[in-house]
Amino acid sequence: MEFDREVDARGLNCPLPILRAKKALAGMESGQLLRVVATDTGSLRDFQAFAKQTGNELVEQRTEGEEFVHVLRRR
């Protein structure tokens, strides 16, 4: 999957991965994809809630070893 921007949130705990994603999304155009890589296990539910609250689409979530990958589509 191709994405327009990536945020490396490895080693950051809540709420920093969400805040970094929010900042990145603010500079993106509607329909563009943002990929966020985090190591915080809470990021799985955090990004689900964030997508519902903001109207951005959570396209994909997956676990790769000890990392959690979240792909959001800008509303």
* Residues with catalytic roles: 14
- CA dihedral (43, 45, 47, 53) in degrees, to 10, reads -140
Helices (H), 1-75: 16-26, 43-54
Tokens of 16: 């920093």
